[in-house]
Every structure is written in C-alpha cells, then in structure tokens.
C-alpha cells in the first residue's frame, strides 16, 4: 500500500517530463497507474468482506508516535476504490480537456499529487500520517483551483479554499493530538477499540471541537460552506474529482472513521445532525436558485455532504449503511454531471443553464451521459440514485430522535435536487434551443469518463447483491460492527419509503415548473451570501491584514535602536518578574573579601564606563570601550576561564580593527538625542545591569551542581578523549548546537555583505 501511494507521488513528479515526450497520448498512459491500483483494491474486496482488514506498517518517527501505518477495512476500501477509479477516468478526461495545451504537464502533476494524498487519507491508520496527507490535499487543491493563475478570481478563490480548509486543518491537528492523548494511541484502529475511554475523558469536548472544525471545513459544512462554490473557478476535471467525488468527502470520511470512538454522546449527535441538516437544506436551496451550471452542482454537492453528515449524526445501523450507498451513488452521478457541464462549457463557452438548450443533436453521447446521471440524481427507479434515496429515507425513518424533522428536510432537499438535475442534465440537451451556440466536436477522451460513470450508475441498480456484500456492508460494518446484516435491495416493494420517493419527484417537478418565476432570486443579496458567512470571512481576513500592518509599522519599524530597546526591555521585564518571584532572598550572602588586584580591576572598569558615557569624541569612546573589554578579559582570566579570555582578547582586537576601517567614514560625532531620551536609556541600562548583577549573585551563591561538573570532566576524557571540557562540549557533546551557531554566523556575514555591497550605486538611484 505504501507502494501504491508512493508510486502515485513518483508519477506526479515524472508527469511533466512524460507529457513533454508523449504529448496528447500522455493522459491515457498516466491513467494506467491509478487504474491498476484501483483493480488492486477491488481484488482486496472479498478478503475484507470476510472481516479481515489489510494492514501494513512502516516506521517513520516512532519516538513521536508518527508511523506510516495503513489499515484498510470496508470504509477505507470503498473510498480507496472511488479515489483511484474515478481518478483514472478523470485523468483520461483531462487528456481531452487539455488537448494541445503544451503547459498541461503541470496539471497532471498536481492532479496525481492530490490523488496520492487522498489515497493516503483514506487508508492511513496513524493520525499524524493522516494529517500530513490531509494537508497535502488542501495544498494541492489550492494549486488546482488556482490553476488558471492569471485570473484574479481563480487566485482569490484558491486562497479562500486554502485559508478555510487550512485553518480547519490546524484545529484538526489539535484535535488529533488530544484524541491520541485521551485514547493512549495514535493509531485509529487502536483508538476505535478503546471503547468508551475517549468519550469519558476530560479532554473529550476539545477533541470533538477540533475534529469537527477540521471535518466541517473540509467537507464545506455550514458555516464554512462558501469556499466550495467559489472553488468552481477550477478547471472542470478538478471540480469533478476534488470538489465532488473525493476531497470534500474527506471530512465526512474522517467522522465516519472515528465514529466508533467519539460519536456516542449527545453533543456529537446533535451538533453533527443539526449542522448536517442545515447544510443539506441550504445547499439544495442555493443550488436550485443559481443559474451557473457549475455553481448549481457545487451547491448540491454541499447539500449531499450535509446529508452524509446528518446520517453520521443519526448514527443508527441503517444510517451508516445509507452513508455508504449515498457516497457511491453521488460519486457516480455528480462526477458525470460535473464532467458533462465542463464539456459543454469547454465546447460552447456557455455555462448558464438559461442559455443552454437543444444540444442533443450535436452532442448525442454527452446528452446520454448527462440524462442518465440526471435520472440517477432525481432518483428514478432503475438507477442507483433511487437505491440511495430509498436508503436515506429508510435511515431517517429509523432514527431514534426527531425522525420526522430529518425526513421533511430530506424530502425538501431531494425535491430541489430534482429541479437541479433536470436543469443541468436534461434541459441543455432536450430543452428548446435558447440561442445560437457554436459547438465544437467533442474529443473522444472527454466522453469516456462521463459515459462510463453514468452507465455504472445505471448498471449498479441491477447488482445490489454484489455491491451490498463486497462494498456497502463491509463499509458500515467497519463503523458500527457486524451485528445484523442489512441486505442491499434495489426494490423494497410498495411501502412508506417508496411513497416518499414518489412524493419527492412530484414536488420536484412542480418546483421545476415554478423555478423560472424565481429567477430574480439568484441576483439577491441572500443568494450571494446566505447568513453572512462570506462577509464574516472577508471581515476577519481584512482584520488580520490590518493587524499585520499595525504590528509591522509599530514593531518592525526599521530603527535598530528601537529593536534593541524593545528586546532588552521585554527580556528584562520577563526575567525580572521571574527573578523577583522565585528568588530565595535569605540564601543570598554577600562577601566583600576583595583582593587588591581585583579591586584595581573594578576601579578601572568603572572609570572606563564613566569615560565612555561622557565621551565627547568617537575615538575616546572606542578606547574606553576597549579598556572595558580587556578588563573583562582579565576577569575571565582571574576566575579560571582561559578559553573565554583568549576569545575576548581576539574579539576586542578585531573590534578595534573594524573601527579603524569605519572611523573616518562616519559622520561627525554629535549628540542628537534629547535629554529625556537619554534619561530613558540610562534607566533601561541600569535596570539591565542591576538584573544581571543580581542574577550572577544568585547563581554564584547557590551551591554549584557538582554532579554536572563532575560528569563533564570525567566523560570528556573517557568518551571524547579531550581534557579541555569547554571545547569538548562545543565540538562533541553539543556539536549540533555549535553547528546551528556557525550557521547563524554565516547568515550574519551574508547579511553584512548584502547591506554593504549590494546597494544600488548612488548615481543610478534616481533612474532605478
């Protein structure tokens, strides 16, 4: 399985080069890999249906609990097959969509990167590995939405998607860490077996918040739903793949996968159910009143995601069963409709449903695919969508709480779906011709995907036993256990559920008739920003930028003296507070048994400082500073630190050399500062000095940790073969620190060089 993920990543890197060689034949070649991985996963199905999950473990950072562990049970298998199977068709479709585009190698590369990451999410067992893949999908989604990077709208939509899903990702990481702490393991399979441990843990509320925010942002649940319709700025294959069939389902997938360990509380059930139901209704209404094909499809996707969330909230066995059926049915018909919409747009340049009609004679194959998918979406018997609709009604009927409310919400949104399906899948082909459109011929590669998916949506109706046994039932068993077996049936006979289905279609057709009269709604402010979620997003984004500007102009103001002042003040304040609070004043003992040479040294130092602060020329100041430096070196010498002495002497000497070079270039030495500023500086300096003096005093009056000293002095010779403990610490015990320090040194040198040497010459400044 690691091989599967890694081979997709490897192909992602190779794709641009392959594209340069194979040109338009590149896409079918690339599709071979996900295709064969898809068959590999299908071949695992019988084994998993027997209840034997497939596991694989690779150590990554074992000390942190982060490992590449893969664990494929029914739920993972269903998603893995969808990711690779639909991925294969999308890659082939992209071959037609980008035909003749020499730069599209980049597109395949990003698409495969996403595919690998998405596959990683659905088969990872380790929370950290899952999180890494999760973030990778956010990033690749950002790059794919912004694929037309010269378009302003694409870029801002991409950024919006990244900020919303990335922000949710941060919450998710926090949730994962807490979940791991609560359960005592970072492996999902182990967490799910830990029983009610997580639910009763004191961290549980935080775990739920983190995981839900992460899942809701990714799966575009209200109030984070707005990024998904905007993400339609992406090319059609991306919309069909990421923003309908796979990535947006990552959120609900995660909730389903963690369902056994975190779902068994009223908080979870109610939050998830209510958010799901609201999202479902909102998405359906918004979809029905939009006129842009891709936006309509995006909103209905939001609605389906809401429905999936609601099913997880309902949580009974038949709900989890319906979850699997709906995921599969939706991927098939929505994938098709996105591809159909994308093809129509590509060939005719039009994506407003009001202007489309009568295209069947010119695009017959596409028309068949579109109308098959639309029938499935409507829920007409003989299509797999019908089976899905029956399953969700069945689940809502069996819900323990508020069953009636959930059914009403489902019927309303499904009825709205009927209208959307007719508008997007049928009207463009069989409706009356609205305006003259020039339509190009469809490349064969662009027809494979839609036809295949829509035919499968038709064929699956007739294969309920097979699907139920190998895909759907294992997927719900993975979540809720094997208690009783629900058999997937295409036809339940005449019962309440069938009645609801008929009712749905009837209401849907009525809505379709009346929709044109609601045409003006799509222009209203409600339609653009329902419940103000977008404006909240925009205002908070503007707030962050304003804060950034404020702190940059206040703190990062470019005056070195202010940086130093601030740094010193903050350090002194914090160190001072800790020092005052935690010092045991009684243990301090001051001794004044100075020897003569020590007293002399102190007098020299004090005199040097006095001269330094009152100096009236730069040369005097430098000399005084030098005297101070050498005096400090002597202090080191007296207290037995020859290494420090040597270093200090060298540094002092080099400082003098540096001053010699710059002395004559500096402007005249005058006091520019005001009295008040100088007073402030004097106070700050005295505070720092006093603090340092006190710190040294305390440090020296505490009994030195002789253990440490002894450890180093013996180990230095025994293990590092050196008697100079200071140097042995520098180059052996703490070599990594030293490596960091010399790196800083190198960076500082480059900085100095850049400041002094890379200035534009003075005379060309005006021209530049």
Site residues for other proteins per CB under 8 A: 642-643, 645-647, 650-651, 653-654, 657-658, 660-662, 665, 719-724, 726-728, 730-732, 735-736, 738-739, 742-743, 745-746, 748-750, 752-753, 756-757
User: Least distance in Å: CB of 640 to other proteins?
Assistant: 10
d(CA 763, CA 768): 10
Q: Are 254 and 211 in contact (CB under 8 A)?
A: yes
Tell me whether residue 487 or residue 739 sits nearer to other proteins (CB atom): 739
- Measured from the CB of residue 264, what is the shortest distance to other proteins in angstroms? 44
Q: How many CB atoms lie within 10 A of CB 689?
A: 12
Comparing CB distances to other proteins, the nearer of 579 and 733 is: 733
CB of 726 to other proteins, least distance (A): 8
- Separation CA 408–CA 398 (nearest Å): 14
In three-state secondary structure terms, 70 is: strand
For residues 129 and 112, the answer to whether their CB atoms sit within 8 Å is: no
Instruction: Answer left, alpha or beta for residue 71, where phi above 0 means left and psi between -120 and 50 means alpha.
Output: beta
Q: Which is nearer to other proteins, 466 or 651 (CB)?
A: 651
Separation CA 257–CA 312 (nearest Å): 10
Least distance from other proteins to the Cβ atom of residue 338, Å: 49
What Rg value do the Cα atoms of the chain yield, rounded? 35
Q: Which is nearer to other proteins, 362 or 618 (CB)?
A: 618
Q: Measured between alpha carbons, how far is 231 from 145 in angstroms, rounded to an integer?
A: 6
Closest CB to other proteins among residues 596, 756:
756
CA 353 to the chain's CA centroid: 34
What does the block give as tokens for 615? 């100096």
Residue 277: closest CA among 183, 412, 175, 397: 412
Dihedral over Cα of 678, 679, 685, 689: its sign? positive
DSSP 745: H
Task: Select 518 or 735, whichever has its Cβ closest to other proteins.
Answer: 735
Nearer to other proteins (CB atom), residue 174 or residue 720: 720
- Least separation in angstroms between residue 736's CB and other proteins is 5
How far apart are the C-alpha atoms of 47 and 649, rounded to whole Å? 75
Q: Whole-number minimum distance, CB 661 to other proteins, in Å?
A: 5
For residue 54, what are the β-bridge partners? 72
Name the residue nearer to other proteins (CB basis): 40 or 636.
636
Q: What is the rounded CA–CA span in Å between residue 439 and residue 433?
A: 13
How far does CA 446 lie from the centroid of its chain? Answer: 31
Residue 243 near residue 232 (C-beta atoms within 8 A): yes
Report, in Å, the least distance between residue 711 CB and other proteins. Answer: 16
Residue 592 or 661 with smaller CB distance to other proteins: 661
Q: How far does the chain reach from its first CA to its final CA, in angstroms?
A: 56
**Residue closer to other proteins, measured from CB, 699 or 736:** 736
Closer residue to other proteins in complex, CB, 635/720 = 720
Q: Least distance in Å: CB of 717 to other proteins?
A: 9
Q: Are 218 and 250 in contact (CB under 8 A)?
A: yes
Residue 727: partners with Cβ closer than 8 Å, 6 or more residues away: 643
Q: Which is nearer to other proteins, 59 or 719 (CB)?
A: 719
As measured in angstroms, the least distance from the Cβ of 713 to other proteins is 13
| Shortest distance, position 617 Cβ to other proteins, whole Å | 20
Q: Give the chain's largest Cα–Cα span.
A: 110
State in angstroms the smallest separation of the CB of 616 from other proteins. 25
- Asked if residues 49 and 469 have their Cβ atoms less than 8 Å apart, the reply is yes
The nearest distance, CB 270 to other proteins, in angstroms, is: 50
């Amino acid at each position: 399985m690691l091989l599967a993920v890694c081979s997709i990543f490897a192909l992602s890197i190779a794709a641009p080069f392959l594209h340069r060689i194979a040109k338009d034949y590149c896409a079918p070649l690339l599709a071979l890999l996900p295709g064969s991985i898809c068959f590999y996963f299908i071949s695992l199905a019988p084994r998993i249906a027997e209840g034997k999950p497939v596991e694989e473990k690779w150590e990554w950072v074992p000390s942190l609990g982060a490992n590449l562990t893969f664990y494929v049970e029914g739920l993972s298998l269903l998603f893995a097959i969808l990711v690779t199977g639909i991925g294969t068709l999308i890659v082939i479709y992209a071959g037609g969509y980008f035909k003749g585009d020499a730069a599209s190698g980049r597109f395949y590369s990003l698409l495969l990167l996403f595919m690998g990451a998405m596959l990683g999410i659905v088969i990872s067992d380790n929370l950290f590995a899952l999180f890494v893949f999760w973030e990778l999908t956010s990033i690749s989604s950002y790059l794919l939405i912004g694929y037309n990077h010269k378009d302003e709208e694409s870029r801002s939509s991409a950024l919006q998607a990244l900020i919303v899903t990335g922000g949710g990702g941060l919450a998710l990481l926090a949730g994962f860490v807490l979940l791991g702490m609560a359960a005592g393991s970072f492996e999902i399979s182990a967490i799910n077996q830990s029983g009610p441990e997580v639910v009763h843990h004191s961290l549980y509320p935080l775990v739920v918040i983190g995981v839900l925010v992460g899942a809701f942002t990714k799966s575009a649940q209200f109030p984070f739903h707005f990024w998904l319709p905007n993400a339609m700025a992406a090319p059609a294959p991306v919309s069909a793949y990421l923003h309908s069939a796979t990535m947006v389902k990552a959120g609900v997938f995660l909730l389903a996968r963690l369902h056994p360990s975190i779902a068994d509380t009223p908080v979870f059930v109610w939050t998830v159910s209510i958010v799901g139901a609201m999202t479902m209704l909102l998405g359906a209404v918004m979809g029905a009143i939009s006129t842009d094909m891709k936006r309509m499809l995006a909103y209905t996707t939001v609605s389906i995601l809401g429905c999936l969330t609601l099913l997880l909230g309902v949580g009974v066995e038949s709900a989890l069963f319906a979850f699997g059926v709906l995921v599969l049915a939706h991927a098939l018909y929505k994938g098709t409709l996105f591809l159909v919409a994308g093809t129509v747009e590509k060939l005719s340049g039009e994506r407003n449903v009001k202007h489309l009609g009568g295209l069947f004679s010119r695009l017959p194959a596409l028309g068949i695919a579109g109308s098959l998918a639309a029938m499935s979406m409507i829920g007409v018997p003989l299509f797999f969508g019908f089976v899905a609709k029956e399953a969700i009604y069945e689940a809502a009927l069996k819900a323990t709480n508020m069953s009636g409310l959930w059914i009403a919400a489902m019927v309303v949104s499904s009825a709205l779906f009927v209208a959307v399906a007719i508008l997007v899948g049928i009207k463009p082909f069989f409706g009356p011709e609205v305006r003259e459109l020039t339509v190009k011929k469809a490349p064969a590669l662009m027809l494979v995907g839609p036809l295949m998916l829509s035919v499968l949506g038709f064929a699956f109706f007739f294969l309920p036993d097979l699907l139920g046994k190998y895909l759907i039932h294992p997927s719900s068993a993975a979540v809720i256990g094997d208690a009783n077996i629900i058999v997937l049936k295409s036809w339940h006979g005449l019962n309440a559920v069938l009645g609801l289905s008929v009712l749905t279609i009837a209401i849907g057709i009525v809505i379709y008739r009346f929709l044109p009269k609601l045409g003006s709604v799509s222009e209203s402010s409600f339609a653009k920003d329902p419940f103000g979620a977008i404006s909240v997003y925009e205002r908070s984004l503007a707030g962050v930028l304003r804060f950034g500007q404020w702190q940059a102009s206040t703190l990062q103001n470019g005056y070195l003296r202010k940086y130093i002042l601030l740094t010193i003040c903050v350090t002194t304040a914090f160190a001072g507070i800790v020092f005052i609070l935690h010092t045991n004043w009684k243990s301090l003992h001051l001794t004044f048994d100075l020897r003569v040479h020590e007293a002399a040294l102190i007098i020299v130092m004090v005199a040097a400082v006095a001269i330094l602060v009152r100096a009236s020329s730069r040369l005097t100041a430098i000399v005084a500073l030098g005297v101070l430096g050498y005096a400090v070196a002597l202090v080191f010498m007296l207290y037995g630190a020859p290494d420090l002495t040597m270093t200090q002497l060298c540094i002092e000497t080099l400082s003098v050399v540096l001053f010699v070079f710059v002395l004559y270039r500096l402007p005249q030495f005058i006091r520019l500062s005001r009295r008040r500023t100088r007073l402030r500086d004097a106070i700050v300096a005295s505070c720092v000095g006093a603090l340092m003096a006190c710190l040294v005093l305390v440090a020296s009056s505490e009994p030195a940790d002789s253990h440490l000293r002894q450890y180093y002095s013996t180990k230095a010779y025994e293990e590092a073969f050196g008697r100079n403990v200071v140097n042995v610490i520098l180059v052996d015990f703490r070599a990594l620190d030293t490596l960091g320090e010399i790196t800083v040194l190198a960076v500082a040198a480059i900085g100095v060089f850049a400041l002094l040497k890379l200035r534009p010459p003075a005379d060309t400044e005006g021209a530049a």
